[in-house]
Structure 1
Amino acid sequence: MVKKLAGKPAFLLVHGAWHGAWCFSKLVPYLERAGHVVTARDLPGHGGRARYPNTFRHRTPDEEAFAIESSPIAAVTLADYVSDVMQALDALVGSGNQPVILLGHSMGGIPITAVGEAAPEKVHKLIYLTAYMPASGVPAIAYSRAPEAQGGKMGAAMKADPARVGALRIDPRSMDLAYLANLKRAFADDVCEDEWAVARNLLSPDAPALPFATAIETTRSRWGSIPRAYIKCRGDLAIMPRTQEKFIERADEFTPQNKTEVYELDSSHSPFFSQPEKLAAILLELAAK
């Protein structure tokens, strides 16, 4: 790893649902070559810490069984996510790699919001990469049911009732070509087929439902005091552009003296796959401010 140059902030990257730290593998080298320390880790229940339903591990044509089997990660909570991110944050702060920029992609916006509220003194900047940036007291799941979410592709990707299985369940190993085409449009519409095949093989089927259903009570004096940026992805079909705009509008209404710095990419939900260099350029610009 490239040593951090004096005064340059470290990056702590938090992935989204069904993903893991692996999704940042193309992005990290750009940040490290610019002299930044970068940490990305798997959240509980994700990446190398994922756990799989038996009906997913042992492939079966029984769609009904897959749709009702309880998730082995149903007990994972937002508090578990926050504890994990805080451990990584404390390690960076303790090693002297200050300041620290906390980036969340997609679902990763939920835990970074909670961490920002819990420990604003440890966070130099919050960056939301086409991510959930929930308003105070509003659970993330509420945004998927709002009018702004219409036209998104994630609803058709769901394979089970989250209330029954305890997870948001997808099937990245499906044999249904139409289903897989929809999944690619949701996550990676501008990613080449070969790269998508690799990514799809690494996706886990379950994301715990509890973090999506847990509201975070943010305050102006804590989360609202941290400089923040939002990177909009105009071609996103997982978190629709209008939903991204709603996050920004509500946050700026909440903290009119500390408005969101907004950047845009002409990309799908996964610019770390399709446009890592352009994404890195934005992050380096934000880090230099």
Structure 2
Amino acid sequence: MHSGSASSLPTSTVTPTVVLVHGAWHGPWCWDKMLPLLAEQGLQVRTVDLPSSGPDVDALGTLDDDVAVVTALLDEVPGPKVLVGHSYGGLPITEAAAGRDDVVHLMYVCAFMLDVGVSLLDAAGGQPMSWWQVSEDGRSITAGRPESVFYDDCDPEETAAAVARLTPQSMSSCTTPLRAAAWSTVPSTYVVADLDPELPQAVQEMMAAGKATHVRHIDAAHSPFLSRPRELAALITETVRAAVAEPAER
């Protein structure tokens, strides 16, 4: 894949639909700045709302529930798809795309790209991260110090608005191991956020090594959809363009 600014995609090809999958504590709102930028490139885009995150701690879903939501959208949308997962969103896209022939590319944006049998908690070293605020009953997690963990390079007003929309995440979504890994058969791109303070560049590169077909870099912390939306939109557009041209299997 080459670098450079994104140009509009040709309308004569069957262009994959882009499915954006948010990470933990977030919702589809986190992609709002990306949507018009991707639309400018002629891309059809869909987002999902993962049930593992939400305001009602008694109704939080599991990783299986998240996979089911992504699967339902894949079933609903005709034609080829490119799945884009951010952070925790790497888990449901990895499992949901397994065994499907309509997902032509996986894109991991500073995301967890894990092996079968590995959970997010396993990848974090087996213990809750220092900034996780685990509920008394152990069933949900609130993100502590999100300003530095998620939005280290974002505008202060934008950071405050995003922090206000964060919701609890289910613990089970972080402790459940993956049951399938689509990256073993589907081409993939890992976008390393070079300035990420909590998922360091070296850790991202380690996850991508031996798994990702392509590795790209973006000069951003953990939320490039807020701090570098145009650059991320260009990377997504280039990935979709390449997916049209390259074989759908590794």
Instruction: Calculate the TM-score normalised by the size of structure 2.
Output: 0.86
Instruction: Please give the residue correspondences for 1:165-184 in structure 2 after superposition, counting only pairs within 5 Å.
Output: 165-170=138-143, 182-184=145-147
Q: How far is the alpha carbon of 1:168 from its aligned partner?
A: 2.1
Supply the distance in 2 between the matched residues of 1:217 and 1:15 (Cα, whole angstroms).
20
Q: How far is the alpha carbon of 1:234 from its aligned partner?
A: 0.8
Q: How far is the alpha carbon of 1:233 from its aligned partner?
A: 0.3
Once the two structures are superposed, residues 200-237 of structure 1 have per-residue CA deviations (whole angstroms, 9 ceiling, x without a partner) of 11111x11111221112436xx5411010000001112
- Structure 2 residue 63 is the aligned partner of structure 1 residue 78: yes
| The one of 256, 262, 278 aligned to 2:231 | 278
Give the equivalent residue in structure 2 for 1:211: 173
| The one of 158, 161, 185 aligned to 1:225 | 185
Once the two structures are superposed, residues 260-282 of structure 1 have per-residue CA deviations (whole angstroms, 9 ceiling, x without a partner) of 20000110100000110000111
Supply the distance in 2 between the matched residues of 1:279 and 1:23 (Cα, whole angstroms).
13
Q: Contact conserved, 1:188 with 1:269, CA < 8 A, in 2?
A: yes
Q: Contact conserved, 2:51 with 2:65, CA < 8 A, in 1?
A: yes
Identity of counterpart residues, as a percentage? 30
Cα RMSD (Å) = 2.4
Q: How many residue pairs align between the two structures? A: 234
Structure with the larger helix share: 1
| The one of 100, 108, 112 aligned to 1:120 | 100
Instruction: Please give the residue correspondences for 1:1-289 in structure 2 after superposition, counting only pairs within 5 Å.
Output: 5-6=11-12, 7-46=14-53, 50-52=54-56, 71-73=57-59, 76-93=61-78, 98-117=79-98, 119-145=99-125, 155-160=129-134, 164-170=137-143, 182-204=145-167, 206-218=168-180, 223-251=183-211, 259-289=212-242
Residue 248 of structure 1 aligns with an amino acid whose one-letter code is A
Q: Contact conserved, 1:234 with 1:268, CA < 8 A, in 2?
A: yes
Once the two structures are superposed, residues 74-95 of structure 1 have per-residue CA deviations (whole angstroms, 9 ceiling, x without a partner) of 5x221111111111111112xx
Q: Secondary structure at the match of 1:145?
A: coil
Unpaired runs of at least 5, structure 2: 1-9, 243-250
Residue 216 of structure 2 aligns with an amino acid whose one-letter code is Y
Question: Which stretches of structure 1, 4 residues or longer, exceed 3 Å deviation after superposition?
Answer: none
Supply the distance in 1 between the matched residues of 2:111 and 2:26 (Cα, whole angstroms).
13
Q: Contact conserved, 1:106 with 1:132, CA < 8 A, in 2?
A: yes
Larger radius of gyration: 1
Q: Contact conserved, 1:99 with 1:124, CA < 8 A, in 2?
A: yes
Q: How far is the alpha carbon of 1:29 from its aligned partner?
A: 0.9
Supply the distance in 2 between the matched residues of 1:120 and 1:228 (Cα, whole angstroms).
14
Once the two structures are superposed, residues 136-183 of structure 1 have per-residue CA deviations (whole angstroms, 9 ceiling, x without a partner) of 21112111127xx9xxxx934222268x32122235xxxxxxxxxx42
Supply the distance in 2 between the matched residues of 1:156 and 1:213 (Cα, whole angstroms).
16
Q: Secondary structure at the match of 1:43?
A: coil
Unpaired runs of at least 5, structure 1: 53-70, 172-181, 252-258
185 and 227 in structure 1: CA distance in 2 versus 1, 3 angstrom threshold? same
Residue 186 of structure 2 aligns with an amino acid whose one-letter code is I
Q: Secondary structure at the match of 1:288?
A: helix
Instruction: Calculate the TM-score normalised by the size of structure 1.
Output: 0.75
Q: Secondary structure at the match of 2:133?
A: coil
Q: How far is the alpha carbon of 1:110 from its aligned partner?
A: 0.5
Q: Secondary structure at the match of 1:165?
A: coil
